[in-house]
Amino acid sequence: MHQQMLARYDAERLAVGLLRVIPFDNWNIPIQEGYDSHLTNEYGTLQYAPRPSGMVLSDSYTDPTSPVTVHQQSYNWNRLLNAINTGKFQKKDNCYEDVNIENLGAAIESSVSSPNPDLYGSLHNNGHDLLSIITDPDGRYKQAMGVMGTTETSIRDPVFFRWHKYIDNLFVMHKNMLDPYSADDLGFKNITLEEISVKVNGCCDQKENVLTTRMEYVNVDIYQSMYQGNPQQSLQVSVYRVNHDEFEYNIKVNNAKRKNVKAAFRVFMAPSFDEHSDRFGLNEQRRWFIEMDKFVEELPRHATHEIKRSSKLSSVVKPPGLSIKDILKEVVERKRKSTKKNVESECVCRRERYCECGLPQNILLPRGTESGMRFDLFVMVTDWESDNCTDNLDQGTSYCGVKNQKYPDGRAMGFPFDRNIDVKFFTKFLDTFVDRFDNMLSVPITIKTMPTTKQTA
């Protein structure tokens, strides 16, 4: 998920003329980015500490029984890198196990599944902690932590993305050790993508493959977020945010097989050009592909099938949130219909809302530029009969998975761009790669940002 956040953030930076994120890769030099959130916690009792520009990380002794030192963090990085390069983790019993994406993630985090937390430490979490207490590392001033110390606020700090690109580079190095996907991995016999395009809904005069975004002011009710008592009250604040016009994918695919097949459609987009206006080569561009959607369709045998897919159905967005008013209304309705006495204690949210870690619908698209920013739209069709684990793709599942079940896709997250592309499949750019496979297509599209608008909630 963090890799996708980085890809999206870099697309936004390119759109406003900034360089892509430079990873945090030296523990001993000043951090040039200062940050002050001007935020308090939800109770208004804690002011998150600012971080002035030029601060250097220091050892933390806020917990004297378990200090976190900068040198130890550097050692942990090197040990993780050694495990990646050798393909082996050293366990507590001095036996070894093969490195894979699951135990690598567990070691970096680290979680209870880490192969050896004493040896590999907790690189990710301790990094967040050190950055959050950089202005008071030993706690002598009783200062509050910075926003990097909590999951609700850390993404506000620009150093969050630098830190996570540093972490993501470990996963990239692991993936680079794996063999590239073969033609059998990438192909889908007798399935041919004939056409793909996108178009804004309800705009007859809108050009094909041109999508539109805007910055807008919207009113948001934050009363219940402040833990006030009366659910009938409201407190409206104006929020400045990006949004886009709804659009749909138009896909034409031919199934030449003798039977109907279930097919997975994998939709990505990535900026076509870097910050120097040079076109991305594929093995560089693949890290910046943003997953836009993933869905399953049954394709009739010996037929060409046309699919229209709304952007509102994307598998990477989360379902709309429920306000306190909505929940109370649902409780009353259930109580009216139910014969159970303690109906108020029943769950009134849909089960799939257990982890709302998808994107809000309004930020599905990168903002683009006023003159139009070019992206490469990529669609790939794969055999869902062999790919599926739970046959349950829905909103939010790309990031969150499905509760108490396996991740619903048997392919790796980011497939087919999670590994180096075999050079025998392309010369340099995406289009020559796509030309090798009938089940793939790419088209250039443009994202234009329109003038700011005002609207009400």
Which among 295, 292, 293, 291 has a CA at the least distance from the CA of 262? Answer: 295
Q: How far apart are CA 277 and CA 147, in angstroms?
A: 34
Give ∠ CA 94-96-100 in degrees, rounded to 5: 140
Say which residues have a Cβ less than 8 Å from residue 11's Cβ, sequence separation at least 6.
Answer: 270, 271, 288, 290, 366, 375
Q: How far apart are CA 122 and CA 106, in angstroms?
A: 9
Instruction: Tell me, rounded to whole angstroms, the distance of Cα 278 from its chain centroid.
Output: 25
* Burial class of residue 451 (count of CB atoms within 10 Å of its CB; 0-12, 13-18, 19+): exposed
- Residue 199's beta-bridge partner residues? 248
Catalytic residue among 109, 246, 248, 330: 109
Q: How far apart are CA 244 and CA 364, in angstroms?
A: 8
The DSSP line for 167-226 is HHHHHHHHHHTSPPPPHHHH--TTEEEEEEEEEETT-TTSPTTEEEEEEEEEEEE-TGGG
The one-letter amino acid code at 45 reads: T
- Residue 307's beta-bridge partner residues? 251
Annotated active-site residue 109? The verdict is yes
Say which residues have a Cβ less than 8 Å from residue 90's Cβ, sequence separation at least 6.
Answer: 83, 96, 115, 116, 119
User: Is residue 150 within 8 Å of residue 124, measured between CB atoms?
Assistant: no
Give the residue numbers marked as catalytic. Answer: 109
